[in-house]
Structure 1
Amino acid sequence: MNGVSGRMGYRQHLLRSILAIREQGGVLLADGSRVQVEPILVGRSEAKLAELAAKHGIENFSTDLDAVLADERWQIYSDFLVTQARASAIKKAISAGKAIYTEKPTAESFEEALELARLAQAAGIKNGVVHDKLYLPGLRKLKRLIDSGFFGRILSVRGEFGYWVFEGDWQAAQRPSWNYRAEDGGGIVVDMFPHWSYVLENLFGRVESVYAHAVTEIPTRVDEKGEPYTATADDAAYAIFQLEGGITAQLNSSWTTRVNRDELVEFQVDGTLGSAVVGLFGCKIQPRNATPKPVWNPDLADEHDYDTDWIESPANEVFENGFKTQWEEFIRHVVYDAPNAYDFLAGARGVQLAEQGLISSREGRRIHLPEVSI
């Protein structure tokens, strides 16, 4: 596990996934048996690794990635590094013949992301990319609605993601300063468009074109040392995606917006037979035969409570942490070749969307996306 001292690597992948799997006795396999996991922590700071290992009862840690990759005991390489360092480390893991599971974006450029997919295929190694949003309770409820035919013909998707990230002067920022420096791999397009790629693709259809407007709305921020710096990366992006089947998706992503919705991300899906409003956990529905009949009249106050027209969709099952669930699926893929659709090629499509979104913003035009293949 390379990069577990970072926020995402530690909280979601080590603490809530691998250690939780270890504590439950391993991953349940199709034949009823279990396969146990044992991590080795890899990073640059031996002191930080030693502290994490002692805290969680982990026997192995190392600052020598090459030595760990050469050791046959470790079958899976997992990467939670900053994007700039990821591709080179993954190439080493491919050369070592390891199965690989990585965060996204998989590389800084589409060309390099596609190269990783081709190298992995040529080496015959199993590979996976984190698609965590698909495992959220809200989106799993949405998938159930889609599969049941609830929406009829889906017409459009509208999404709002974001919150106010403090500038770092009178209140500390909730995100690291590198997120706001393009030269360090920062930017909300690079961060969020790979998510939008797999969410749209797996729920509604392949993204066929993108028109985006990315902006740096707060030009100066304050870093972790209290020093002002110039924000060179985009902190908000407004995009329209055309999907196969004629569906239009409009998604706003922003670190400069104040929240007035139930959750930090919400999607509204409208179809001929019904609509849904979905967040991380919640899912409200409104079928065609229970839709109110508003009449536009700007001269009179509208006293109708539209929120009460929606019905909360039940969970009907227990949803575990999405990162842990996908980790279990990937381990089954490694152990006995269980299905895995979320591979390096899927990761490359996410990088492609981010790259073309930035080009669209710079050039002020809609860009068609060719299908990606190895």
Structure 2
Amino acid sequence: MTQTRVLRIAMNGITGRMGYRQHLLRSILPIRDQGGITLADGSKVTVEPILIGRNEAKIAELAALHNVEHYTTDLEGAINDPSIDIVFDASMTSLRYNTLSKAIANGKHVFTEKPTAETLEEAVDLARQAKSAGITAGVVHDKLYLPGLVKLRRLVDEGFFGRILSMRGEFGYWVFEGEIQEAQRPSWNYRLADGGSMTTDMYCHWNYVMEGIVGKVKSVNSKTATHIPQRWDENGEAYEATADDAAYGIFELETPGGDDVVAQINSSWAVRVYRDELVEFQIDGTHGSAVAGLNKCVAQQRAHTPKPVWNPDLPVTESFRDQWLEVPANAELDNGFKLQWEEFLADVVAGREHRFGLLSAARGVQLAELGLRSAEERRTIDIPEIEL
């Protein structure tokens, strides 16, 4: 009879939106309830979550609701507990460096949300600590596991685009100010002193998306804006929005084959959506183009590309959207967060590095820092290599 190994996971910040919905509810609990995962050698590994939060009543309620036996408000005690295998962190960015440092020092494997630290110096230091300790470290790169981007990456791998010329992305939606209609995002997102910033929040995502689909990010030229200068917090109190709520970036990329690619990504909490999904990426190449959201991906080959003629005197009669074909999944694609958790758990058991580790996260922090600097100095900034 095959024995099942149990990995005990201390889950910090689990009462937050991402920690609860994506990591506990849609990842760890389904892995537990399906009996774990089967590894390449036929053995099995499952998980036992330990919920950690500052509000004991809230985590006790979650534990009871989801049949989780263990919970605590003592993060340091959990990190020091020799029975804990993995420390997961989805708490505030300002607390993350200390949490991960302590976990690594105690020999724990770590899996964490982004950004991994408030500064590049701290983010790189975490990567050095993990390398020195020999633990398995993983950083959430959820978008690369989502169906739309999985399909987009497959088109790249198959050579569908020919020589890739450009990439563009549109992300965001209207976040209500909070005066009349309640805001959909927490107020700290719009206060610089509390760690808010569209650039800080999203450029760490765009870095791994660009790296994971097209290639290395070589430079950044960014423009930030605070379009909505006043908002209302969770108590209905007005406050000054000091953080950027939009970032407009131009990036120079280099493919593994050495081709230069121009990428443009707009990110805004002050935009109304006129697209199929809340985020979409388009890649154009000499042989074809494709547009991907989180779930859907459509493509147009060179041979099927229409030949529009510019004539502002006549109304457009052709439907450009109908000229694209949907890219099939050709596989069953599970929740992106769950898929990465399963890959990470297999890496922990095998004692190998996770492909999206703390160095990858440090490059995301670097891009955010240089993006803000680019906006402040109004210039293009080259991105240097990070050395451990």
Per the TM superposition, whether the score is higher than 0.5 is: yes
In 1, Cα distance between equivalents of 2:126 and 2:352: 22
In 1, Cα distance between equivalents of 2:211 and 2:92: 25
1:110 equivalent to 2:124? Answer no
1:211 equivalent to 2:221? Answer yes
Give the CA deviation at 1:283. Answer: 0.6
Match of 2:95 among 85, 88, 103: 85
1:350 equivalent to 2:364? Answer yes
Which deviates more from structure 2 when the two are superposed, residues 62-71 or residues 190-199? 62-71
Which amino acid in structure 1 is aligned with residue 80 of structure 2?
Answer: A
SS at 1:133 equivalent: helix
Counterpart position of 2:15? 5
Which amino acid in structure 2 is aligned with residue 145 of structure 1?
Answer: L
Q: Is the 8 A contact 1:345 1:373 kept in 2?
A: no
CA RMSD of aligned residues (A): 0.8
1:303 equivalent to 2:303? Answer no
Identical counterparts, % of pairs? 61
Give the CA deviation at 1:123. Answer: 1.6
Give the CA deviation at 1:338. Answer: 5.1
Counterpart position of 1:238? 248
Which amino acid in structure 2 is aligned with residue 162 of structure 1?
Answer: G
In 2, Cα distance between equivalents of 1:338 and 1:19: 24
SS at 2:88 equivalent: strand
Give the CA deviation at 1:304. Answer: 1.4
In 2, Cα distance between equivalents of 1:77 and 1:165: 32
Q: Is the 8 A contact 2:136 2:354 kept in 1?
A: no
Match of 1:280 among 257, 280, 294: 294
Match of 2:73 among 56, 63, 68: 63
Counterpart position of 2:335? 321
In 2, Cα distance between equivalents of 1:24 and 1:234: 42
SS at 1:84 equivalent: helix
1:174 equivalent to 2:188? Answer no
Q: Is the 8 A contact 2:136 2:353 kept in 1?
A: no
Counterpart position of 2:139? 129
Unaligned runs of 5+ in 1: none
Give the CA deviation at 1:349. Answer: 0.2
In 2, Cα distance between equivalents of 1:350 and 1:339: 18
Give the CA deviation at 1:342. Answer: 0.4
Counterpart position of 1:370? 384
Give the CA deviation at 1:121. Answer: 1.2
In 2, Cα distance between equivalents of 1:337 and 1:283: 35
Counterpart position of 1:41? 51
In 2, Cα distance between equivalents of 1:38 and 1:302: 58
Give the CA deviation at 1:339. Answer: 5.5
Cα displacement string for residues 267-320 of structure 1 (whole angstroms, at most 9, x for unaligned residues): 111000000011111111100000000111112222111111111111111110
SS at 1:237 equivalent: strand
In 1, Cα distance between equivalents of 2:201 and 2:147: 22
Which deviates more from structure 2 when the two are superposed, residues 332-341 or residues 98-107? 332-341
SS at 2:48 equivalent: coil
Runs of 4+ in 1 over 3 A off after TM superposition: none
Q: Normalised by the size of structure 1, how large is the TM-score?
A: 0.99
Give the CA deviation at 1:337. Answer: 3.1
Give the CA deviation at 1:136. Answer: 0.7
Q: What number of residue pairs does the alignment pair up?
A: 374
Give the CA deviation at 1:373. Answer: 2.3
In 1, Cα distance between equivalents of 2:87 and 2:166: 39
SS at 1:37 equivalent: strand
Q: Is the 8 A contact 1:210 1:240 kept in 2?
A: yes
Give the CA deviation at 1:153. Answer: 0.3
Cα displacement string for residues 192-213 of structure 1 (whole angstroms, at most 9, x for unaligned residues): 1000000001111110000000
In 2, Cα distance between equivalents of 1:255 and 1:296: 33
In 2, Cα distance between equivalents of 1:338 and 1:287: 39
Q: Normalised by the size of structure 2, how large is the TM-score?
A: 0.95
Match of 1:187 among 178, 197, 206: 197
Match of 1:200 among 210, 217, 225: 210
